[in-house]
Copies of this chain bind each other. A is one copy, B any other.
Amino acid sequence: MFSKACEYGIRAAVYVALQSLEGRRVSVIEIAEEIDSPIAFTAKILQQLSKNDIINSVKGPTGGFEIEREDMDAVKLSKIVKAIDGDNIYVGCGLGLRECNADKPCPLHDKFVDIRTDLRTMLQNTSLFELATGLEVGLTYLKR
């Protein structure tokens, strides 16, 4: 569904959000540890998130990654997915035709569009804050 990079990206962003709620700024090393992902690869992804204004980064001692409380509401999963995987999952044809086009639809079009729309809607309506709170309460997990 999502690329590995995107999965790590979402998990990392949720972890950063959770820690920011606690007032903590976190390092790549800690993030990778807590979401069980490869450190250097995670660092690349965090750079992407930072460039796309999804999280903030601070260099130097006491530096690390954080996200402001308002941004946790504003940043929806759709933004992260789009930043890392692009928007093919939102607009692309399920059978891989160059583009999805209702005027010349692929055989799966009608059925696929429903699913795709539900997915998009879900991602557009789900904020980092929402995901972080489940973690905070101990109901959900970022690794096992």
> Residues on A close to B: CB < 8 A?
1-2, 4, 7-8, 10-11, 14, 77, 89, 92, 94-98, 101, 104-109, 111-112, 114-115, 118-119, 122, 126, 131-132, 134-135, 139-144
Contact = CB atoms under 8 A, between A and B. Distances in A.
13 contacts: A1-B94, A2-B96, A11-B95, A77-B108, A97-B141, A98-B144, A104-B144, A105-B141, A106-B140, A107-B134, A107-B142, A111-B122, A112-B122
Chain multiplicity (copies): 2
Nearest to A18: B107
A114 B121 CA distance: 12
Contacts of A77: 108
B96 A8 contact: yes
